[in-house]
Amino acid sequence: MEQLSTIIQVVGSLITLVILPLLLLRSKKKKADAEAEKTEADNITAYAAEWKELYEKKEKRVVELDAKIDHLYAEITKYRDAIRELSEKNSELAVQNQALEFRKCNKHGCADRVPPSEY
């Protein structure tokens, strides 16, 4: 019986000295792997947050530039309309000027008007 007890003690000691550290080593390795994965996930999250911030800044800048472009197009349209109106007015005045030149009398205050006119 003593031999059996000794064998059980030896086997117990072997289990305690060999298997328990192996189990603890696996546990430590899993813990280290989990910490590494968490650190990597945090790094990826920070990286994604930086890219998101850059994207939002760029998008804000695009919106600002679009608004500026729209404003400039509105100004261009306003100036084109003003130019068109002035051109139309200039054309009307040129036609009126031609009509007045045609009716202009070279002799003033006489009945025999040059050029003759019926009015």
What average pLDDT does the structure give for the chain?
A: 86
Is residue 117 within 8 Å of residue 105, measured between CB atoms? yes
Residue identified by tokens 């430590």 is: 28
What's residue 101's pLDDT? 83
The arithmetic mean of pLDDT across residues 6-23, rounded, is 74
Give me the pLDDT at residue 96, please.
95
Query: What pLDDT digit, counting tens, does each position of 51-90 carry?
Result: 999 999 999 999 999 999 999 999 999 999 999 999 999 9
- What are the structure tokens assigned to 25, written together? 């080593």
Give 107's contacts (C-beta < 8 A, 6+ positions apart): 113, 114
How many CA atoms, within 13 angstroms, populate the side-chain half-sphere of residue 19? 6
Q: What would the two tokens of residue 118 be?
A: 């019926």
Residue 118: pLDDT over 60: no
